């Protein structure tokens, strides 16, 4: 059981490193990549916590965090490249 706590500490250290990159990162793309990685780390922490608490009711949250991280990153990439997220159809 101690190993799972150690894994949680390692994941927290990883989140701290990514937070440094979010604060310092010279470009916006750095910050977006680091925030995406923080979201994925958060999903892993939920998985390890549900092992420690011995409950399977949090496992949907992992899939939810994965989907939200992907949607946010894709929307931000489109905003960076084109300036809009949802383009207006100019034909009519």
Residues that bind other proteins (CB under 8 A): 3-4, 6-8, 10-11, 13-18, 20-21, 27-30, 32-34, 36-37, 40-41, 43-44, 47-48, 50-51, 54, 56, 59-60, 62-63, 66-67, 69-70, 73-74, 76-78, 80-81
- Tokens standing for 54? 């011995």
From CA 43, how far away is CA 69, in angstroms rounded?
10
Decide whether 1 or 92 has the Cβ nearer to other proteins: 1
Decide whether 36 or 91 has the Cβ nearer to other proteins: 36
Quick check: 34 and 54 in contact, CB under 8 A? no
Considering only CA atoms, give the Rg of the chain.
Answer: 17
């Amino acid at each position: 059981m101690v190993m799972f706590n150690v894994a949680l500490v390692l994941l927290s250290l990883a989140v701290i490193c990514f937070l440094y990159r979010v604060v310092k990162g010279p470009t916006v793309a750095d910050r977006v990549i680091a925030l995406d990685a923080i979201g994925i780390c958060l999903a892993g922490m939920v998985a390890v916590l549900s092992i420690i608490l011995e409950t399977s009711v949090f496992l949907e949250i992992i899939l939810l965090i994965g989907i939200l991280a992907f949607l946010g990153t894709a929307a931000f990439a489109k905003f960076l490249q084109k300036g809009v997220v949802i383009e207006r159809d100019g034909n009519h």
